[in-house]
Amino acid sequence: MAESLHKKINEKIVKSKKDKVVNSMISITNALKSTGIDIKRKVFKEIHDNLGGKLRIIVSAAAPIDKKAGEWFEGIGITFLQGYGLTETAPISALTPEYKTCIGSCGKAIVQADIKVDNPNERGEGELLIKSPTLMLGYYENEIETKKVIDKDGYFHSGDIGYIDREGYIFITGRSKNVIVTQNGKNIYPEEIEMLIDKVPEIRESMVYGNKAENKNDKELVITARVIPDYDKIKEIHGDVSKEQIYDIIWNKIKEENRKLESYKAIKALEIKEGEFEKSSTMKIKRYKELEKK
Does residue 239 fall inside a structural domain? yes
Amino acid at position 91, single letter: P
Q: What is the CATH classification number for the domain harbouring 202?
A: 3.30.300.30
230-282 tens-digit pLDDT: 999 999 999 999 999 999 999 999 999 999 999 999 999 999 999 999 988 77
Looking at the structure, tell me whether residues 114 and 137 fall in a common domain: yes
Q: What is the extent of the structural domain holding 51?
A: 2-77
Does residue 87 fall inside a structural domain? yes
What is the model's pTM? 0.76
Among 123, 150, 175, give the residue marking a domain's end.
Answer: 175
Looking at the structure, tell me whether residues 162 and 237 fall in a common domain: no
Looking at the structure, tell me whether residues 31 and 130 fall in a common domain: no
51-73 tens-digit pLDDT: 999 999 999 988 788 889 999 99
- Report the relative pairing of strands 156-164 and 170-175 from DSSP bridges: antiparallel
Looking at the structure, tell me whether residues 69 and 123 fall in a common domain: no
Domain count, the chain: 3
**Buried/exposed 210-234: b ≥16 CB within 10 Å, e otherwise:** bbeeeeeeeeebbbbbbbbbbeeeb
Does residue 100 fall inside a structural domain? no
Q: Return the DSSP state at 89.
A: G
Among 149, 175, 201, give the residue marking a domain's end.
Answer: 175
Q: What is the CATH classification number for the domain harbouring 147?
A: 2.30.38.10
114-128 tens-digit pLDDT: 999 999 988 899 999
